[in-house]
Structure 1
Amino acid sequence: MSTASDRPDAGQPEAGRRTRVMIADDHALVREGLRKVLELDPTIELAGEAATASEVLWHLQRLDVDLVLLDLLMPGCTDVDLIERIVKAHPKLPVLVLTMHADPHIARRALEAGAGGYLTKDISTELLIEAVHQVAAGRSYVDPTLSAALIRPQAGVPQPLDQLSARERQVLVALVQGRALVDIAADMNVAPNTVSTYKSRLMEKLGQNSLSDLVRYSIKLGLTG
C-alpha cells in the first residue's frame, strides 16, 4: 500500500479553493491525457503546463501553483537535478513525480532529492488523483507497487548510475532521448567538446563502448522516460 507521512514545510492549498496543478512532461499526448484525468476532479484546477526543465522553472516564477506533477526525463535537466532546483527555489511547493521508472532505487533518489511523491505511469486514474491530494496536502505518497521495496535496506548494493556526476547524468538522459551533442551543449550552456568529454567519461564509468550499447544499457536500467 502507499506510504504517507506529514511534511511540515510543505505548502498546502488554502481552504475552500481548488488545488492548482502544473503538468510537466515533454510529451504533448501525455500532458493531454493528464489534463483530462485531472479535470475529472472538480477540486483540482490546471495551473499550467511545461515541456522542458526551463519552462518548469520559468512558469513557477509566474504562476500560482500548489503542486508540480513532474516527469523525470525533462529536456534540459537531469531528473534529480530538476527536483532539487524546484525544491531549492520553492521549498514549500510539493513535487509529485510521475514516470515510467519502476525502479525502487530511482524512486528513492527522487524522494531524497525532495519529491513528495512518486508514481509510475501505469497507475490508475483513482490513485493518481488520490496522490495529487495527498502530496498537495503535505503528505508523502509512493506508488503502492514500490512501497515495500523502498522500505527494504539496500546497504552495500552498488548502483551503476551512482557513479555519474549530475552533469554526466544529464548528458546520459539526453543521449538516450536521441539528442545531438550540439543540442545538448546548447541546453547545458557549454561547448560541444565539453559534452563529448562528459559522454566519454560516463561511457567509461558504465563500461560501454558505443552509443548503441549505451542506449541499450540505459534502457535495461530503466532510463527510458
Structure 2
Amino acid sequence: MKIKILLVDDHQILRDGIRNVIERSTTMEVIAEAKDGREAIKLCNQLKPNIVIMDIAMEGLNGVEATKRIVQENPETKVIALSMHSSKRFVLGMLKAGAYGYLLKDCDSDELIKAIKTVSINKKYIAQNISDVILSEFISGQHEEMILTPREKEILQLIAEGKSSKVIGEILFLSSKTIDVHRKNIMDKLELYSLPELTKYALKTGLISLDE
C-alpha cells in the first residue's frame, strides 16, 4: 500500500516541485494539497493521510498551530515540517506541536524521500543541518512555555497579519465582540497594548514571518 501524503504550502510552485519528487517513488502518492493550515486540517479529517508535509509560515493559520490540531484530531497522521527556517523558535515550535520530522527547504530529493519513509514507520527524522543544540534543548524540556491558548495564538496571528476583528470573526465563525474580548485577554497576558508590540511578539515567537 502506498504512503498517502498531503502537501501544505502557500506557494503553488513549491507544492508542484515537492509533488514531482514524491511521485517519482512507486511507494508514495500525493492525495491532496492545501495552501494554508486551516485547509490542511479539513483535508486531514476528510482524507486521513499517512504523512503531512507542512510549511510553517502561512497566512490564516500557521504550520505550528495546524500541526497541533492535526495530531490531536488524527493521531495516526504524522507531520513533517518543510521550512526555510532553521532558527530555534520554529524548530522547537514544530517539535513541541507534535511534528515527527523537520527538514529545510534546501534539502535534496533523496533526503525528503528518506524522511517520509522514516516517519512512515513511526520514527522521527530531523535534518542533519539542524543544530544539535536545538535538539538537545527540546529533549531536555528547557524550551519556553507558551502562555497563550491555541485559540489566542490563532487570533494573535490574524491580528498581526493586519486583519480586523470583523474579518477575524468571519474566518473563525465568532462575533467581532468575542474577538475583541480575546484581543484584550491576549494584551493583558502579554502586557502588550499596541498593534506594533503584538506584531513584534508574533514575529519573535514564529506565529508570523517576514521571510516566507
Aligned to 2:13: 29
Instruction: Tell me which of 133, 137, 150 is aligned to 2:135.
Output: 150
Q: How far apart, CA to CA, are the structure 2 residues paired with 1:168 and 1:212?
A: 17
Residue matched to 1:7: none
- Cα drift, residue 79 of structure 1: 4.1
**Structure 1 counterpart of 2:101, from 110, 113, 117:** 117
Kindly indicate whether the alpha-carbon contact (under 8 Å) linking 2:48 and 2:74 is maintained by their aligned counterparts in 1: no
- Corresponding residue SS for 1:163: coil
Look up the SS of the partner of 2:69 in the other structure. Answer: helix
Cα deviation, residue 154, structure 1: 6.0
Which of 47, 51, 54 is matched with 1:70 structurally?
Answer: 54
Which residue of 49, 72, 86 corresponds with 1:88? 72
Output the CA distance in 2 between the equivalents of 1:111 and 1:189. 29
The whole-number CA distance in structure 2 between the counterparts of 1:194 and 1:46 is 38
Quote the Cα distance in structure 2 between the aligned partners of 1:100 and 1:186. Answer: 31
Q: Is the 8 A contact 1:104 1:146 kept in 2?
A: no
Using a 3 Å threshold, how does the CA distance of structure 1 residues 55 and 217 change in structure 2: closer, same or farther?
closer
**Equivalent residue for 1:8?**
none
Offset, 1:207? 4.6
2:48 and 2:149 mapped to 1: Cα distance? 33
Residue type matched to 1:118 in 2?
Y
Contact 2:36 2:62 in 1 (8 A): no
Aligned to 2:179: 195
Percentage of matched positions with identical amino acids: 29
Task: Say yes or no: does 1:97 pair with 2:81.
Answer: yes
Shift of 1:112: 3.3
Provide structure 1 residue ranges, at least 5 long, that are not aligned to the other structure: 1-13
Q: Measured at CA, do residues 24 and 61 of structure 1 come closer, stay the same or move farther in structure 2, by a change above 3 Å?
A: same
Name the TM-score, length of structure 2 as normaliser: 0.78
Counterpart-to-counterpart distance in 1, 2:189 and 2:12: 34
* Structure 2 equivalent of residue 134 of structure 1: 118
Q: Name the CA shift for 1:38/1:54 in 2 (closer, same or farther; >3 Å).
A: same
> Residue type of the partner of 2:135?
L
Per the alignment, do residues 85 and 213 of structure 1 end up closer, same or farther by CA in structure 2, a change over 3 Å counting? closer
Q: Is the 8 A contact 1:78 1:166 kept in 2?
A: no
**Structure 2 gap segments, 5+ residues each:** none
Contact persistence 2:37–2:63 (CA under 8 A): no
Instruction: Report 1 or 2 for greater relative contact order, CA contacts < 8 Å, sequence distance ≥ 6.
Output: 1
Q: What is the SS of the residue equivalent to 1:29? A: helix
- Pairing partner for 2:165 from 181, 202, 210: 181
Stretch moving more, 73-82 or 209-218? 73-82
Q: 1:89 to 1:201 in 2, by over 3 A?
A: closer
TM-score, normalising length from structure 1? 0.74
User: CA offsets, 1:78-135, max 9 Å, x none?
Assistant: 5444323322332222111223442334433432332211223343333222212211
- Residues matched between the structures, number: 206
